[in-house]
Amino acid sequence: MRSHELRVQNELSGTVHGATIQAGAVHGGIHFGAEPRAVIRTPWQLPPAVRVIDRLSELEALEQHRTRAMREERPALAAVSGLGGIGKTTLALRWLHALRPQFPDGQLYADLGAQDPAGGVLPDEVLGRFLRALGVSAQDVPVTLAERTALYRSLTAERRLVVLLDDAATAAQVRPLLPAGRSVTAVTSRGRMPGLTVDGCYPVHLEPLGPDAAMELLADTLPDDRVAAQPDAARLLVELCAGLPLAVRVAGARLAARPERRITTMVRALTEERDRLEVLAIDGDHDVRATLDLSYRTLPPRAARLYRLLGLHPGPEFGSAVAAAVLTPEGEATEPDATEHEATELLEKLHDASLLLDRGEERHRFHDLVRLHAAGKAVEDESPQERERAVRRIADHYLASATRAEEIIDPQHRTMARDYGAGPVVVADVGDDAEAALDWLERELRNLMAVIRQARPAGFPTVGWQLADALWPLFLRRKFYDDWHAAHEEGLAAAVELGDAAAECRMLTSGGVGRLGSGDHDRALAMFERAARLFLERDDRLGHARTLNYRGLALQRLGRPDEAAALFRRAAAELPSRGDRRAGALARLNLADVALTTGDAEEAVRHARAAHTSLRDAGDLYNAARATRVLGRAHLAVDRLDQAEEHLSSALSTLRGMAAHYEMAHAVGGLAEVSERRGHTDTAQQRYREALELYASAGRSGSPEAETARHRLRRLDPGGSGS
């Protein structure tokens, strides 16, 4: 509502009760002339309330705050913040209307116009309206802001009022409008109003509605039974509205205008992301894009630029370092701390404007519709070249950060080059140890996968395969097989497009290991054999020798142990002579595993011991621990329980520090068998349960090894869950 419309509304508001007072002499120390008379008015200015969906906890919190303030004999002040269209005014009205019986002296309302392009309403203007609504004649309204404030507080000192200050811009705009006495004031704002804390303000920040509540709101908006008749389509619709009440109501209003239209029609219209904001618009001011435009226009220029560049981020959630990455000038030497400091300040401005949601630990999230709006503003206000640079800076940030994590977790794997765009490149803090680095990779996996998928269409296919390569330690240890397959398929396509045979071979071998792990053994063998042919075409004898290990693993899984062992023996002989002693040791480890599965425990001990020595000397502590674990299993197979426990415990100790849950599960399962054979049933049960938890955390709860542990636990504990 514009300020002149408010002026007319407020001047006409108020119920005359017929009594008169002497305005005379002094109000709060201010003299208003001889014997002016004023009519006592009881204004009821609040707009009508509408139904509130799923805000009971917020209403309860507001009421608890009011009760506490009244008990302490002070005014109650609350600020309701959130994204435009989130339901701030609806919540405030629902709360304040319910208070009418307890606050009989009236209700005051002002739209402070924070989103008005002409600027917000000045406090002295609002005070003039309030004073007139409270019975002060126009000629007795003071001229200055200070005088109006003093008179307003004098008039409200003994009244029990409720006041709604809607769409506030700043705490300074609000403070003169706060009544005295035991009144209740609600302020709504897109910003969080931290400045009102000193005034005893209670903050309430609104998040989007959950799916069930959004469904209820849609049903409330439609005057028919289409939501009940088409529940699946209705749920898809509110998901596309991302829980924003304004968006749900706009979608409902459009459907209400077409009673014959099915909800699926609206769903199809909203499915195209680029058109979603256009569809969520109706005649008048209830337009999601227009609502977001108002918030955008209030941002300082640098914050507005960060907002639109972050709209190019491929996923909805990101860390603070991403903001520093998009702000870093290309090719310029800048102080990282200065850029990070600026990014932190600008992110705070976006949070204050409710354009970002806080996800804790310096993580931020766009509401889905806000992300679309930000991306649209990038198209409008940034050149194609600058958009391309921002997208590349984001991709380089993730590539460099994932590579840093890779180096921490598995330094032996980090052998392929990394190619970045024009620097400098911002690297995230991924932690100092393997567990923290793995956690970072897992937390960012959705974004990392989005960058991989984006790389080729965006014109930097190299990032696609290199980022897939950097994710190897995560995939190997935490077994995200679907992402493992997708990353390496896209990385392989990028390598082929580039004509980079070395990258193609890397994607085939690393991707093939993922196929092995998920049980697709035939496809894995085909990928390894394709890599072998490529190595031969390039006359890369070392690369070809390395594929012997991979092909042997596939043959072993396919139930062809003799063929597998033959390839492992070739690899163990060829690889050291071609300069890769570590890969040769891995071949010995594979031979130990074959010997163990075929019942030759002494042969397994011999190969595992030799593999452990070479891998330890090569600095590959992870695979050295795997060799120790196989050595423990081999001793267990021939009932050398003390030696088995010693080796399995040693392996477990090393693997714990590497967060290698799958290998840890193998070691714990072996220790459980040791306890079982010694008759220590309670310890065995405890260890089997721990092994199953580790298999589950590694995404391998359905593996044959997990099934074996589950079977043994059930045998020891028939009445337990066995899981």
Closest-CA residue to 603 (of 611, 590, 612, 591): 591
Task: Look up residue 358 and give its amino acid.
Answer: D
Angle 220-256-54 from CA coordinates, rounded to 5°: 20
Alpha carbons 157 and 140: distance in angstroms, whole number:
19
713 with 699: CB under 8 angstroms? no
Alpha carbons 407 and 401: distance in angstroms, whole number:
10
Task: Look up residue 250 and give its amino acid.
Answer: V
Pairing state between β 107-111 and 162-166: parallel
698 with 478: CB under 8 angstroms? yes
Closest-CA residue to 505 (of 530, 474, 475): 530
Q: Could you write out the DSSP letters of every residue in 399-416? A: HHHHHHHHHHH-TTT--S
178 with 75: CB under 8 angstroms? yes
Size (the chain), residues: 723
C-alpha distances (whole Å) from 436 to each of 427, 444, 682 are 15, 12, 33
- Looking at residue 5, what is its pLDDT? 35
Coil vs helix vs strand at 41: strand
- Looking at residue 16, what is its pLDDT? 31
| 282 contacts: CB under 8 Å, gap ≥ 6 | 250, 253, 254
Q: Beta partners for 547? A: none
- Looking at residue 106, what is its pLDDT? 92
C-alpha Rg value of the chain to the nearest Å: 34
Q: Could you write out the DSSP letters of every residue in 425-457? A: -------SSHHHHHHHHHHTHHHHHHHHHHHHH
621 with 584: CB under 8 angstroms? no
- Looking at residue 264, what is its pLDDT? 86
- Looking at residue 243, what is its pLDDT? 80
Sheet with 363-365: list strands edge to edge: 317-319, 363-365, 357-360
Q: Could you write out the DSSP letters of every residue in 565-630? A: HHHHHHHHHHHHHTT-HHHHHHHHHHHHHHHHHTT-HHHHHHHHHHHHHHHHHTT-HHHHHHHHHH
Alpha carbons 42 and 36: distance in angstroms, whole number:
19
Report residue 375: phi and psi, to 5°: -65, -40
Pairing state between β 76-81 and 37-42: unpaired
Coil vs helix vs strand at 76: strand
- Looking at residue 193, what is its pLDDT? 84
Kindly give the parts of the chain with pLDDT less than 70.
1-39, 115-119, 272-287, 290-291, 294, 316, 331-338, 719-723
Mean pLDDT for all residues in the chain: 86
E strand intervals along 442-558:
none
- CA 681 from chain centre, in angstroms, equals 44
| 640 contacts: CB under 8 Å, gap ≥ 6 | none
| 120 contacts: CB under 8 Å, gap ≥ 6 | 112, 113, 114, 168, 169, 170, 173
Query: Which residue has tokens 């012997």?
Result: 548
- Looking at residue 360, what is its pLDDT? 72
- Looking at residue 369, what is its pLDDT? 75
